[in-house]
Structure 1
């Protein structure tokens, strides 16, 4: 069996920046264990698998170690592949996933994600997070799934602190949830961030679209504005344009096809 794949740099305006994702358009689902093995083989932050279901596309995302409920950059990459490689008609692609309905639309050279708000809540883990980070934080919030923490968000005082942070990945992996997000007011953008998820195989994610579903409502309330410019200041870096509209977040960015090939399976 041969499977066609496409590698895309998402939230990027030039090659080797932004966040790379692998995309597979399938006729039917593979076994879950096999999709996980394929994602581990590619060893990118996310590998996306999608199949057509009626008028929409069902999408699933795997890190090298686990399936995740939501991923922005690999959704952007998947829409880019459907539009540019497979000539998907129209200007809008609808996706379904574990987190509900998603939409990606074309707006000139950009693609715009339409994702649900992920509202973070204050939590009592500030002392634990400060110990893990090795520096003081302004506040710590958590994204909950039921009673369980899914993500942690630590607010730092400024962009310099975000850029200078050197993570103790073993300590970060022991925190509750899938990953740790750090953020602060930006010098040239409304806010900046970085994201670490070593417990699911991502030491540092270059650009994390889904985290901006948490960041946008937080900074929109704090800065009293609905349209925000954001920069994820990883080594590769990526710029995002965010807008809060009710219970939805729109996240715009560009994408570039970097490579295509075939995976050979027995």
Structure 2
């Protein structure tokens, strides 16, 4: 029986430290066409929060842009249509692999199975910027408010002060955003995220304005829970959650279009982002650092 081998890179996005950010594995499958089942099994073996599969470079009409096909799989072997941190991790893996792209390339273009096209731009040092679709939220009904607010208080082990609950608009219907008061101490709470399994949404974003003791300069903080979709129930740093967080807080804070805001996800690992809402383009810009952790060869 013949054995294929694929190089891989491990890294963590939205942090410069080993203990921070959101880890991901990037696997370079070249021109091979592994079955969906095989890709899922590989993801199960890596047990990283996200596994990103990258093709060989595709034709490009721009000498400064390299183009790749991309697919994302969760550690339970399920494919997802979009992953911000997995894409930034893949970009760092490509730029750190000698000979993968020419020195002139400062933009990577990724084409997903879903039809989405993502671009990552190389910034200063280890900072990278990705553009994602912007999402909106609309207030939930009174009945939904009571239901979700009760579950959030249950998850956080105390009665919390809910300021707003909104469900995602077109393309983000699976998300709910809950704003609490900074005094509810989102970072310090030990959250029983299993209580959020029945909110009616599989991505539950809890956010507050910047606490008084926030040292990073972030204007808002957040945590994201998806107990029905991810191992452990909490995403360390979620790029796609900021597709709705960024427009929401830009409006609240009176930030002009394309204005940059510092944000922090206050999960136990934690991560720092610079975010911007580009209203005319209906996109959100996410900037984050990347820390490489290791590389190796996978045998299939």
TM-score (norm 2): 0.82
Q: Give the deviation of 1:159 after TM superposition.
A: 6.2
| Partner residue in 2 for 1:172 | 196
* Rounded Cα–Cα distance in structure 2 between residues aligned with 1:128 and 1:262: 48
Larger-gyration structure (1/2): 2
Write the deviation string for residues 197-243 of structure 1: whole angstroms up to 9, x where unpaired: 11112411111111111111000011011321100011111110011
**CA distance change for structure 1 residues 82 and 211 in 2, over 3 Å: closer, same or farther?**
same
| Partner residue in 1 for 2:167 | 142
**CA distance change for structure 1 residues 120 and 53 in 2, over 3 Å: closer, same or farther?**
farther
Q: Secondary structure at the match of 1:236?
A: coil
* Rounded Cα–Cα distance in structure 2 between residues aligned with 1:165 and 1:230: 18
- Report the number of matched residues: 264
Structure 1 residue ranges without an equivalent (≥5):
none
| Partner residue in 1 for 2:151 | 132
**CA distance change for structure 1 residues 150 and 29 in 2, over 3 Å: closer, same or farther?**
farther
| Partner residue in 2 for 1:61 | 72
Structure 2 residue ranges without an equivalent (≥5):
61-66, 154-159, 212-216
| Partner residue in 2 for 1:196 | 225
* Rounded Cα–Cα distance in structure 1 between residues aligned with 2:24 and 2:209: 28
Do the aligned residues in 2 keep the contact of 1:159 with 1:185 (CA within 8 Å)?
Answer: no
Q: Secondary structure at the match of 1:103?
A: strand
Please state which structure has a larger fraction of its residues in strand: 1
* Rounded Cα–Cα distance in structure 2 between residues aligned with 1:99 and 1:142: 24
**CA distance change for structure 1 residues 198 and 6 in 2, over 3 Å: closer, same or farther?**
same
* Rounded Cα–Cα distance in structure 2 between residues aligned with 1:141 and 1:99: 27
| Partner residue in 2 for 1:42 | 46
* Rounded Cα–Cα distance in structure 2 between residues aligned with 1:205 and 1:99: 24
Do the aligned residues in 1 keep the contact of 2:135 with 2:169 (CA within 8 Å)?
Answer: no
Question: For the aligned residues, what is the CA RMSD?
Answer: 1.9
Q: Secondary structure at the match of 1:198?
A: coil
Q: Secondary structure at the match of 2:250?
A: helix
| Partner residue in 2 for 1:155 | 179
| Partner residue in 1 for 2:86 | 74
| Partner residue in 2 for 1:117 | 134
Query: Which stretch shows the higher mean deviation, 115-124 or 214-223?
Result: 115-124
**CA distance change for structure 1 residues 168 and 15 in 2, over 3 Å: closer, same or farther?**
closer
* Rounded Cα–Cα distance in structure 2 between residues aligned with 1:96 and 1:196: 27
TM-score (norm 1): 0.92
**CA distance change for structure 1 residues 12 and 220 in 2, over 3 Å: closer, same or farther?**
same
Q: Do structure 1's residue 243 and structure 2's residue 269 form an aligned pair?
A: no
| Partner residue in 1 for 2:28 | 25
